[in-house]
Amino acid sequence: MNADSGKSPAVWVTGASRGNRGHIFMISSVAARTWFRKNGGYSASKAGLSALASVLREEVREHGIKVTNVYPGATASGLWSDRVLERYSARMMHPNDVGCLLVSLYRQPDRALVEEVILRPVGGDL
């Protein structure tokens, strides 16, 4: 995407919604908020996604569309190598933990919006 294009994803979102309310979840990472050594590119991409979501939220708010930035911490998924999963999976969240959060956010009243949420394993970052 050309950052200077003057076009916004809101054009497609509002067109697709046809006046219906909706909720967009932008799944980022705690790496957008907490910087880990040797992880600069990943952190930068997640911070960019968060900024895009924040702008999109403001652009579609008037159409009744909610946008929530979700920052999950270490979650046992295919993102991690088998070696890392073997060593740390007991300390990681399960994908279902993130899914339960999304359902809870989706069930909020129409008049309420949780704009951002950070979800980490109880034991903290790896």
Q: What is the pLDDT of residues 85-125, one digit of tens each?
A: 999 999 999 999 999 999 999 999 999 999 999 999 999 88
Confidence at residue 52, expressed as pLDDT on a 0 to 100 scale? 95
Mean pLDDT over 39-67 rounds to: 93
pLDDT above 90 (res 20)? no
Domains of the chain, earliest start first: 21-119 (3.40.50.720)
Confidence at residue 8, expressed as pLDDT on a 0 to 100 scale? 61
Give the DSSP H/E element, type plus range, for residue 72.
Answer: strand 65-72
- The predicted model scores a pTM of 0.84
Q: Lowest-pLDDT range, 2-11, 46-55, 64-73, 84-93?
A: 2-11
Confidence at residue 18, expressed as pLDDT on a 0 to 100 scale? 61
**Per-residue DSSP letter, 3:** T
Distance CA 5, CA 7 (A): 5
Confidence at residue 78, expressed as pLDDT on a 0 to 100 scale? 92
In the numeric block, the tokens 């799944």 are attached to 27
pLDDT classification of 19: cutoffs 50, 70, 90 = low
Q: Which of 32, 30, 25 is nearest to 51 (CA)?
A: 32
In the numeric block, the tokens 């394993």 are attached to 121
Residue type, 80: W
Chain centroid, CA 70 distance in Å: 3
